[in-house]
Amino acid sequence: MTSTAAALLARATKSRRPIFVALAVILLLRSRLLTLPKDVVRNLRRVAYGPPLSQDEMVQVLQQVYLDGPDGTKTLLVPYRDRVSEVTIKPYTPSQLADDAKNFPPVPPTHKPSLDKTFLHQLKAILRITFPSWYSKETLILILHSFFLVSRTVLSVGVARLDGRIVRDLVSADGKGFLKGLGLWFLLAIPSTYTNTMLHHLQAKLSLRLRTRLNRYTNDLYLSSAPDLRYYRVSTEGGLDGVDQYITADVASFCDAVAAIYGNVMKPSLDLVLFTTQLSRTLGVRGTILLFLNYYATAKILRAVTPAFGRLAAVEARLEGEYRAGMGRVGRESEEVAFYNGGPRERDILWRAYLRLIKHINSIYKIRIAYEWTEDYVIKYLWSAAGYALIAVPVLLTRRRNVGIQTGVNVKINDEVANRTETYISSRRLLLSLADAGGRVMYAQKDLLELAGLTTRIYTLLSTLHNLSPLPKPAPSQDTVELSHVDIAVPSSASTSSSAATVLVKDLSLALKSGEHLMITGSNGVGKTAVARVLAGLWAPWKEDEDELSVGKVSGGGNEKGGAVKRPEGKKGVFVVPQRSYMVAGTLLDQIIYPDSYEQFKQSGRTLQELMEILTASNLAYLPAREGGWHTRKEWRDVLSGGEKQRMGLARVFYHKPKFAILDECTSAVSSDVEGRMYEHAKSLGITLITISLRPSLMRYHNQLLTINGDGVGSWTLTKVGGAEERMGLDREIITLEEKLADVEGWEKRVKELTKALSVQEA
């Protein structure tokens, strides 16, 4: 066997001679290549990758981010040094994602991760994403990995046999044989070590590829556009918190675990089979039966002491997520925290989250002590003892037989001892490898349980996202926004009782034609923004008598129970500027055109001159000069002041020129004169305004006033501004104020009396 291996190696070495020569030449020349003149290196790179980009071109590339392909593909432009590499990706289509939903039925709330049928089902559903076909690169890596795993085991058997042979030659003082064995030892070491390195490399590569696949899928699913808006609804309607932890850390851990589990289970299992086969040749039937009894006993003992690693891993991931989310919150809202000087308080909160995490990890470590102690004891010592016993059986039996034979025949005792030593050394090495493989198989159970925990996390994420049924699509209309008999309530997850939901606005009906501007007012928290959410399609109209969300079963503007919504489609139809300003990651230009991309901006034929006019109308004309141009990248959330951010929100309205703009208290930090000018400008662009505000001064830009009363029963009133009702209301207010003014004289007199009394006391 060993001579065959050596022959194979020798043949391989011979046939690969040119490659070895080339490698040696490269190694020798390496230092020379490194010191080549810079312009030669530059020219070589130019030939290989094309000319480098100028600074201007690089700025354009950074602005562009990606190119849209005609077939829906996106080519990402990834800057690297002074060049750009292109990565083409094809996003999943909404119909592909909808098709996949059947693979992700909801997880029962009582489910605990363990090695059962549910785990296999969940893993299969996820692996369908990571291994899309038999011809994918991931499958190829797996095949290659398997090849190296088998090679590794075969080489281990070779090493064990060679080990025995070398010691045999040593014991029988065969110098030639010993040297030959040593030579083979070094030769065998080359493929053995290479195989090990490749196994690590392929495992890491597989993990990374799986992560990329899963990330792309999750991102396409999560960041879905209307009517799905899963990123917006996953927490309120799906009841899933800390999604960022799921998508970033958990996906990475899951992929690492999957890539590792293959090697961790496959390799030791293969080792077990191969080594047992090899050993059974030496041990005979009785020995092999004993070996299997040994396996059985070990499995039983370890099963009894194995803790619920899956559940522990899932809890650890959740606690890790909570701690991470806390850190993220402080980073995001650092200025607010700093104004309150809330550092120490935040530290306490974060410290508590960290301690909970650490306490849990510590408890895992403690649980592991008992498990690992038993495992070590059983695998290392019990198996070794069993191994000695197993090896001793044939040796002792042969010896006894030989002793019997010796009396009549002349036997070469030296040869016998040498052969016995060879058998002993080979078997011992195989047994040690077997113990190691056994240990890893047993440990793989722990890995499998941890994988079950991570699988449950990823499956929960994907199934929650898949099971958010699309929001009802508002019925399209040309130039009107209409709500008829709509009830509005905070959407809740299916797990929270719908009877607990209070209706904020009941039976709301209004019709707004183009040019009829509406103002929505009412106290804080009465549901003004809620109306905007329904109009924008973020919330479905509420259906009272349903346990589930009023989504998914409604189309064409709602149904009779939930009321109906009609509006012009898309961001050109209704554009919302929310209460909290949002600044996107990117350049100054990106802030104005958001949510459009630079590519869309270029395709629309709009110019920088137009953007400048928009900024002028928003009183932000100074920004490009102040910030260093249109393509400057900054953390705009921190760079712009509160008022500037609000003005930027209106600049977006001027850029997109929608038919209707919902302005949700988005000018509260803008001075009234600038606010007035911007309102007039919006109107001059033909935009119909729906303003949510508590400022009476804004009433003059509107024709209708919707007041939400906040009386707990969802009542509301809709009046024409400037109409008889409105005037009567104002008259009533004037009378009340005049009555109050009449008392002022009396109050002033009383203040004087009190001041006098105080000064007498002090004297």
Ligand X SMILES: Nc1ncnc2c1ncn2[C@@H]1O[C@H](COP(=O)(O)OP(=O)(O)OP(=O)(O)O)[C@@H](O)[C@H]1O
Q: Tell the burial category of 611 from Cβ atoms under 10 Å away from its Cβ (0-12, 13-18, 19+).
A: buried
Interacting residue with ligand X among 319, 530, 662, 705 (CB under 6 A): 530
* Residue of this chain nearest to ligand X (CB atom): 529
- Rule CB under 6 A: is residue 481 a binding residue for ligand X? no
- Rule CB under 6 A: is residue 490 a binding residue for ligand X? yes
Closest distance of CB 690 from ligand X, Å: 13
Q: Which of residues 522 and 643 has its CB atom nearest to ligand X in the complex?
A: 522
Per-residue binder mask for ligand X (CB under 6 A), 50-69, x = binder:
--------------------
Q: Are 624 and 630 in contact (CB under 8 A)?
A: yes
d(C-alpha 78, C-alpha 87), whole Å: 7
Any idea of the CA torsion for 20, 23, 27, 32, to the nearest 10 degrees? Answer: 130
Whose structure tokens read 């530059």? 42
- Rule CB under 6 A: is residue 667 a binding residue for ligand X? no
Q: Which of residues 228 and 237 has its CB atom nearest to ligand X in the complex?
A: 237
What type of residue is 474? P
Q: What is the largest CA-CA distance in the chain?
A: 140
Q: Which stretch binds ligand X (CB under 6 A): 77-85, 378-386, 526-534, 680-688?
A: 526-534
Q: In three state form, how does the secondary structure of 348-383 look?
A: HHHHHHHHHHHHHHHHHHHHHHHHHHHHHHHHHHHH
Per-residue binder mask for ligand X (CB under 6 A), 219-238, x = binder:
-----------------x--
Q: Which stretch binds ligand X (CB under 6 A): 46-54, 355-363, 459-467, 522-530?
A: 522-530
CB count in 10 Å sphere of residue 573: 17
- Rule CB under 6 A: is residue 504 a binding residue for ligand X? yes
Closest distance of CB 572 from ligand X, Å: 25
d(C-alpha 503, C-alpha 514), whole Å: 29
Q: Which of residues 248 and 668 has its CB atom nearest to ligand X in the complex?
A: 668
Dig out the tokens for 113 from the structure: 């991760």
Q: Which of residues 64 and 579 has its CB atom nearest to ligand X in the complex?
A: 579
Dig out the tokens for 122 from the structure: 């969940």
d(C-alpha 693, C-alpha 520), whole Å: 6
d(C-alpha 540, C-alpha 547), whole Å: 14
d(C-alpha 318, C-alpha 329), whole Å: 16
- Rule CB under 6 A: is residue 614 a binding residue for ligand X? no
Closest distance of CB 535 from ligand X, Å: 12
- Rule CB under 6 A: is residue 529 a binding residue for ligand X? yes
Q: Which of residues 439 and 527 has its CB atom nearest to ligand X in the complex?
A: 527
Total residues binding ligand X (CB under 6 A): 12
Q: Which stretch binds ligand X (CB under 6 A): 388-396, 508-516, 523-531, 594-602?
A: 523-531
Closest distance of CB 90 from ligand X, Å: 34
Whose structure tokens read 């810079």? 38
Closest distance of CB 529 from ligand X, Å: 3
- Rule CB under 6 A: is residue 538 a binding residue for ligand X? no
Q: Are 427 and 279 in contact (CB under 8 A)?
A: yes
Any idea of the CA torsion for 148, 263, 254, 450, to the nearest 10 degrees? Answer: 180
- Rule CB under 6 A: is residue 501 a binding residue for ligand X? no
Per-residue binder mask for ligand X (CB under 6 A), 541-580, x = binder:
--------------------------------------x-
Closest distance of CB 666 from ligand X, Å: 11
> Which H or E run includes 519?
strand 518-521
Q: Which stretch binds ligand X (CB under 6 A): 324-332, 452-460, 518-526, 671-679?
A: 518-526
- Rule CB under 6 A: is residue 495 a binding residue for ligand X? no
d(C-alpha 653, C-alpha 351), whole Å: 43
Q: Which of residues 490 and 612 has its CB atom nearest to ligand X in the complex?
A: 490
Any idea of the CA torsion for 642, 643, 645, 649, to the nearest 10 degrees? Answer: 140
Q: Which of residues 232 and 371 has its CB atom nearest to ligand X in the complex?
A: 232
Beta strands 660-664; 633-634: pairing state: unpaired
Q: Which stretch binds ligand X (CB under 6 A): 474-482, 527-535, 683-691, 698-706?
A: 527-535
CA dist 547 → 241, 387, 469, 494, 553 (Å) = 22, 64, 15, 7, 13
Closest distance of CB 585 from ligand X, Å: 24
- Rule CB under 6 A: is residue 526 a binding residue for ligand X? yes
Q: Which stretch binds ligand X (CB under 6 A): 134-142, 525-533, 667-675, 737-745?
A: 525-533
- Of 226, 169, 186, 286, the C-alpha closest to 474 is 226
Interacting residue with ligand X among 95, 524, 609, 641 (CB under 6 A): 524
Q: Which stretch binds ligand X (CB under 6 A): 276-284, 411-419, 519-527, 753-761?
A: 519-527
- Rule CB under 6 A: is residue 528 a binding residue for ligand X? yes
Residue 563 Ramachandran class (φ > 0 left, ψ -120 to 50 alpha, else beta): left
Residues of this chain that bind ligand X (CB under 6 A): 236, 490, 504, 522, 524-530, 579
